[in-house]
Amino acid sequence: MQRLRVGVVGVGHLGKEHARIVATLPEAELVGVVDANGAQAEAVAQRCGTQAYRDPRALLSRVDAVVVAVPTVHHRAVAADFLRQGIPLLIEKPMAVTVRQADELLELAERHRTFLQVGHIERFNPAFEQLQKRPMQPKYISCERYSGFSGRSTDIGVVLDLMIHDLDLVLTLVRAPLRSVEALGAAVLGGNEDLAQARLTFANGCVADLRASRVHPTPARHMHLFGPEGFTGVDFARRRLTVMRPNEHLRQNPLDAAMLASLKTDLFTRHIHVEEIDCDTAPRDQLTCELQDFLRAVRTGQSPRVDGAAGRAALAVASRILDAVHAPASLPMAA
Ligand SMILES: NC(=O)c1ccc[n+]([C@@H]2O[C@H](COP(=O)([O-])OP(=O)(O)OC[C@H]3O[C@@H](n4cnc5c(N)ncnc54)[C@H](O)[C@@H]3O)[C@@H](O)[C@H]2O)c1
């Protein structure tokens, strides 16, 4: 099998991990890394046994595929050069800063007969993969994504930095049009919001509440789902699922006195089945799975798991949330 020639543009915190993994994949050859910071490019190239460049255009004639992991404000400019040459991209999340930029990239990809994958890495979390194997019609979803302050991604706020992960996951689970968005947020350390809360209401009645903070003392990544089938909790950091399912008898019958008495003593032993599932058994890490999905899509021409349309959809909801966050507070109308 001929190896695909891959380059990585932006080898900072995340890009250096992309480069490290690409250099180990048998189906790829890491032909170069690019960083505007020449010393950083050199250091990563040396570790990965490849060439260092400072200008992304140096890769244009050398690659079959590229990973773009520069700060989000530069995604559009860097990605456009490669798409114009018909080179497929794995572009980090969020796909771009605005929906307009995302549309430009999608249009370029289509015009030049290539594609974009977007780095929504939680789709490859084994706990989320397990969740998707259990059909559910959620009526309510709650997501929390909290981190300490990393000092990175200050070009964007917490909605595009962290909440975008959960927006992509919620849109994957709820296949219904979005009816309304309510949100608020606050900037703590700079100009962009560091805390945000949003409520999405879908046309099928499902409601999703999302909370994100990047100035939180205790990191956490959780999702809870409620539906007629029961309750499911996802811990993305520990890669665990908690599934609680009421039995058929409980679901089908009204509560009488005998049942009420039994529920008090035997709720979780007889009536609700509780399953704790450890999903942290996958042989490969999420970033490797994401990169392998990208290389498979390049090789076969089949869609990647997270295509450009999915990246754009998450960004479109994020933009509505940001509009609500930045809307002037509504004041009571004067009499
Ligand atoms: N999928 C995830 O979970 C995840 C996690 C972290 C970051 N990200 C995303 O990855 C991207 C990079 O984030 P990071 O934390 O690695 O940032 P970073 O600041 O650590 O690294 C970015 C690197 O890009 C370089 N750079 C900047 N402009 C460039 C240009 N025009 N050409 C070449 N190099 C350039 C910088 O010198 C730096 O080394 C962002 O879009 C971010 O949102 C995704």
> CB of 200 closer than 6 A to ligand 1?
no
What is the CB neighbour count within 10 angstroms for residue 120?
A: 24
Which residue out of 20, 33, 35 has the highest number of ligand 1 atoms within 8 Å of its CB and is therefore the one to mutate? 35
From residue 308, give the alpha-carbon distance in Å to each of 47, 114, 271, 301.
31, 11, 44, 14
Cα gap 159→178, rounded to integer Å: 17
Which residue out of 33, 40, 70 has the highest number of ligand 1 atoms within 8 Å of its CB and is therefore the one to mutate? 70
Chain centroid to CA 205: 23
> CB of 35 closer than 6 A to ligand 1?
yes
Q: What is the pTM of this model?
A: 0.95
Residues of the chain under the 50 pLDDT cut: 335
> CB of 13 closer than 6 A to ligand 1?
yes
Residue written as tokens 């981190």? 147
Which residue out of 16, 17, 97, 153 has the highest number of ligand 1 atoms within 8 Å of its CB and is therefore the one to mutate? 153
Ligand 1 centroid distance, CA of 13 (Å): 7
User: Which phi and psi (to 5°) does residue 225 adopt?
Assistant: -125, 135
Ligand 1 centroid distance, CA of 104 (Å): 20
Ligand 1 centroid distance, CA of 273 (Å): 44
How does pLDDT run across 252-270, given as a tens digit for each residue? 888 888 888 888 888 888 8
From residue 150, give the alpha-carbon distance in Å to each of 18, 138, 216.
19, 33, 11
Cα gap 221→84, rounded to integer Å: 37
What residues form DSSP beta bridges with 198? 183, 210
- Which residues neighbour 236 within 8 Å (Cβ) at sequence distance 6 or greater? 122, 125, 127, 128, 221, 222, 223
Amino acid at 286: Q
**Which atom of ligand 1 is nearest the CA belonging to 41?**
39
pLDDT score recorded for residue 334: 52
Q: Is the peptide bond before 135 cis (omega within 30 degrees of 0)?
A: no
3-class DSSP state of 299: helix
Question: Which amino acid residue places its CA nearest to atom 13 of ligand 1?
Answer: 71
> CB of 214 closer than 6 A to ligand 1?
no
Map out the domains of the chain with their CATH numbers: 4-119+286-305 (3.40.50.720), 123-278 (3.30.360.10)
Cα gap 63→84, rounded to integer Å: 13
> CB of 78 closer than 6 A to ligand 1?
yes
Do 8 and 22 contact (CB within 8 A), yes or no? yes
pLDDT score recorded for residue 201: 98
Question: Which amino acid residue places its CA nearest to atom 5 of ligand 1?
Answer: 14
pLDDT score recorded for residue 335: 46
pLDDT score recorded for residue 214: 96
**Which atom of ligand 1 is nearest the CA belonging to 161?**
43
From residue 332, give the alpha-carbon distance in Å to each of 15, 106, 329, 335.
48, 42, 10, 9
